[in-house]
């Protein structure tokens, strides 16, 4: 494989960034400092403003207050739905950012193929999106987000539409890409396990209006899949879980419906 | 191919049965040829006049194909302009709705003033009646472009014209093809109506004129022959547009 080269990583600093939609506060001012080359996960319930925060970071919308500094570079971005153009094959989808940046077809093709290889899709370069599984489409979406070698990668719940096994493999891929390319990664997810397994820091947000409640440094004995059965991993999950204050019915789930089924067993 | 045959044989068989019933009825009831010619008489008229009819067919095909081509280009361009601005869309939408009530063929006689006698007027008539479904479907398609994909293009700094060319237009292709399918039938109607008012009898008479002149001579068999050929033009155009659509949308689904 050709020399992949590491992207110069960019830090992302949010300074008092808040958003108000038509008079309704989406989230309170957020100040966050993401160091160059960091892998930060953001977790929070639906509607707490995670997507809006990423869109502000990407420059797609302007915040109501505050500023985001990304060092002037355009980040790569990947969404829950990979947003592939259905009339283009994998390669032509991946090279779209290069095409829009006016890069020559030859160079586009080389860089696109190389990126597809990195996400394990080198052989499927000429397949159309309809011919790909959900996981493969996400790989193509990741390749497109990274083809410009952006200094930062913003991921908005990239795995939430995927099945468990596929999600595992995409998580491993994300970890590998981060190690290999060295860009800053901000991963929005609503899976605590995913956030802890991949993130070196986990930012916890709560909703209505959204705000950042805490930032956890994650220190695990390893980053192998088995780490998820360790005490350290469970403790990290627990401390985040406490901060999220997920609403639970008082007294827990009513046991009646469960015991009825249990009682039916002879 | 197998699938084509599978879906094609029932309607073909039905047509054969209906033609046979028509033939039988005409003979059984001794219907006079100038009232209703038997299919066999129409076929004979087709063969006997193959030479002049093929020239007529050529002229009408030219008008219909030319009109449809103009409608495709003008329709896509006008549709793109209308869809590009919210204000323009809001202004044009009610007008387009009202325009559908205007009997456009009624302006066909006017075309003679603008384009003179002959194929140009027929072509213009075909273009005018077939352009509206193309405009309407183009606008619908362009406006339905996935906002998520628009956001993606915005992320990569694409300007309006690039977004139109690389995103909105390909996105609207299925709609534009649908508009063209509708337009293909209308183009033939438009061409023949145009010929009714602008054609002249003689060696080079288009199908619309063949219908009128044969009627005056009580050659109903020739009228039917001309109508059959007009239908043939319509079917062929429809087939060609569908094939083009298939080609453009290959691999998407
Ligand atoms: N374009 C918009 N206009 C109005 N309200 C919006 C818009 N985008 C998001 N919101 C609101 O802002 C809040 C945060 O949304 P979002 O960032 O999508 O949350 P999350 O991604 O955490 O689920 C929600 O209450 C949502 O309804
Ligand atoms: Mg979201």
Q: Which tens digits make up the pLDDT trace of A169-219?
A: 999 999 999 999 999 999 999 889 999 999 999 999 988 788 888 899 998
pLDDT-derived band at B71 (thresholds 50, 70, 90) equals very high
Nearest to A175 by CA among A204, A153, A150: A153
Q: Are residues A219 and A99 in the same domain?
A: no
Residue B149: pLDDT above 60?
A: yes
Mean local confidence (pLDDT), A44-67:
92
**Could you tell me if A34 and A162 lie in one domain?**
yes
For chain A, what is the mean pLDDT? 88
As a whole number of angstroms, the distance between CA B74 and CA A30 comes to: 51
Looking at residue A45, its pLDDT comes to 86
Q: What is the CATH number of the domain that holds A206?
A: 3.40.50.300
Let me know if A71 is exposed, middle or buried by CB neighbors in 10 A (0-12, 13-18, 19+): middle
- pLDDT score at B253: 81
In the listed set A149, A176, A202, which residue is the last one of a domain according to the structure?
A: A149
Rounded Cα distance between A75 and B147, Å, is 20
- Same domain as A90, residue A206: no
**Domain final residue, candidates A149, A167, A190:** A149
Instruction: Tell whether B164 lies on the interface with A, counting CB pairs under 8 A.
Output: no
A134 and A161 housed in the same domain: no
How confident is residue A250, by pLDDT bands cut at 50, 70 and 90?
A: low
| Tens digits of residue pLDDT in B209-219 | 999 999 999 99
Give the mean model confidence (pLDDT) for residues B14-27: 94
How far does chain B reach from its first CA to its final CA, in angstroms? Answer: 19
A233 & A163 share domain: yes
User: Do A89 and A130 lie in a common domain?
Assistant: yes
Per the structure, the count of domains in chain A is: 2
Percentage of residues in chain A having pLDDT higher than 90: 64
Distance from CA of A72 to the nearest CA of B (A): 14
Q: Are residues A56 and A165 in the same domain?
A: yes
First to last CA, chain A: 62
Closest CA to A5 of A182, A140, A152: A182
Would you call B252 and A87 a contact, using CB atoms and an 8 Å cutoff?
yes
- Complex ipTM tops 0.90: no
**Residue where a domain stops, chosen among A94, A117, A149:** A149
User: Do A206 and A230 sit in the same domain of this protein?
Assistant: yes
Name the DSSP letter for residue A6. Answer: P
Residues A224, A109 within the same domain: no
* Atom 12 of ligand 1: nearest residue by CA position: A26
One-character DSSP codes across A180-224: HH--EEEEEES-HHHHHHH-SEEEEEETTTBEEEEEEE---S--S
Which of A47, A64, A158 maximizes ligand 1 atoms within 8 Å of its Cβ, making it the mutation to test the pocket?
A47
Mean pLDDT, rounded, of chain B? 92
Q: How many CB atoms lie within 10 A of CB A57?
A: 23
Average pLDDT over residues B33-51: 93
Residue B191 has pLDDT above 60, yes or no: yes
The distance of B153 to chain A (nearest Cα, Å) reads 8
CB A174 within 8 A of CB A165: no
Q: From the CB of A48, is ligand 1 less than 6 Å away? A: yes
DSSP A222-265: --SGGGGGSHHHHHHHHHHHHHHT----TTSS-SHHHHHHHHH-
Any ligand 1 atom below 6 A from CB of A137: no
In short, whether A46's Cβ falls inside 6 Å of ligand 1 is: yes
The pLDDT, as a whole number, for residue B235 is 94
* Range with the poorest average pLDDT among A4-13, B140-149, B240-249: A4-13
In the sheet that A12-21 helps form, which strands lie side by side, from edge to edge?
A: A24-34, A12-21, A65-69
CB pairs under 8 A between A and B: 43
Statement to judge: residues A121 and A234 lie in one domain:
no
Question: Rounded distance, CA B129 to CA A256, Å?
Answer: 70
A18/A62 same-domain check: yes
Give the residue numbers spanning the domain of A93. Answer: 83-149
> What residues contact residue B223 under an 8 Å CB cut-off, 6+ apart?
B210, B211, B214, B215
Q: Within an 8 Å CB–CB cutoff, is residue B172 touching chain A?
A: no
* Chain B nearest C-alpha distance from A97 (Å): 6
The verdict on A140 and A160 lying in the same domain is no
């Amino acid at each position: 494989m050709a020399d992949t080269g590491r992207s110069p990583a960019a830090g992302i600093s949010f300074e008092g960034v808040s958003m108000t939609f038509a008079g309704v506060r989406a989230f309170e001012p957020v100040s966050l400092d993401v160091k160059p080359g960091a892998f930060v996960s953001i977790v929070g319930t639906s509607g707490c403003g995670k997507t809006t925060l990423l869109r502000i970071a990407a420059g797609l919308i302007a915040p109501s207050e505050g500023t985001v500094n990304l060092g002037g570079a355009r980040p790569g971005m990947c969404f829950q739905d990979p947003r592939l153009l259905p009339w283009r094959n994998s390669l032509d989808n991946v090279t779209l950012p290069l095409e829009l940046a006016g890069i020559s077809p030859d160079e586009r093709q080389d860089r696109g193929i190389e990126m597809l290889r990195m996400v394990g899709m080198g052989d499927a370069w000429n397949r159309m999106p309809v011919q790909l599984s959900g996981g493969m489409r996400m790989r193509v979406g990741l390749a497109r987000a990274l083809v410009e070698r952006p200094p930062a990668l913003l991921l908005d719940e990239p795995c939430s539409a995927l099945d468990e096994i596929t999600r595992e493999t995409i998580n491993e891929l994300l970890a590998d890409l981060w190690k290999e390319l060295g860009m800053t990664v901000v991963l929005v997810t609503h899976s605590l396990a995913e956030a802890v397994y991949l993130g070196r820091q986990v930012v916890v947000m709560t909703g209505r209006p959204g705000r950042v409640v805490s930032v956890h440094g994650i220190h695990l004995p390893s980053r192998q899949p088995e780490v998820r059965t360790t005490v350290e991993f469970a403790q990290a999950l627990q401390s985040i879980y406490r901060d999220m204050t997920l609403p639970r019915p008082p007294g827990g789930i009513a046991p009646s419906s469960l015991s009825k089924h249990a009682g039916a067993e002879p | 191919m197998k699938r084509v045959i599978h879906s094609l044989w029932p309607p073909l068989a039905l047509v054969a049965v209906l033609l046979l019933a028509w033939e039988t009825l005409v003979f059984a009831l001794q219907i006079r040829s100038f009232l209703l010619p038997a299919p066999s008489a129409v076929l004979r008229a087709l063969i006997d006049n193959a030479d002049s009819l093929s020239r007529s067919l050529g002229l009408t095909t030219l008008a219909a194909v030319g009109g449809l081509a103009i409608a495709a280009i003008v329709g896509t361009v006008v549709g793109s302009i209308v869809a590009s601005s919210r204000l323009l869309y809001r202004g044009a939408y009610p007008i387009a709705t009202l325009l559908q009530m205007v009997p456009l063929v009624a302006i066909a006689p006017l075309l003679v003033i603008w384009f003179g006698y002959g194929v140009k007027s027929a072509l213009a008539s075909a273009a005018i009646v077939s352009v509206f479904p193309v405009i309407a479907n183009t606008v619908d398609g362009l406006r339905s472009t996935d906002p998520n994909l628009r956001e993606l293009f915005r992320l990569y700094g694409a300007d309006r014209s690039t977004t139109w060319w690389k995103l909105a237009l390909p996105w609207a292709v299925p709609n534009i093809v649908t508009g063209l399918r509708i337009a293909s039938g209308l183009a033939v109607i438009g061409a023949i109506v145009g010929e009714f008012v602008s054609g002249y009898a003689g060696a080079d008479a288009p199908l619309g004129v063949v219908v009128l002149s044969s009627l005056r001579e009580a050659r109903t068999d020739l009228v039917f022959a001309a109508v059959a050929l007009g239908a043939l033009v319509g079917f062929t155009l429809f087939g060609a547009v569908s094939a083009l659509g298939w080609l453009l949308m290959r691999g998407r689904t």
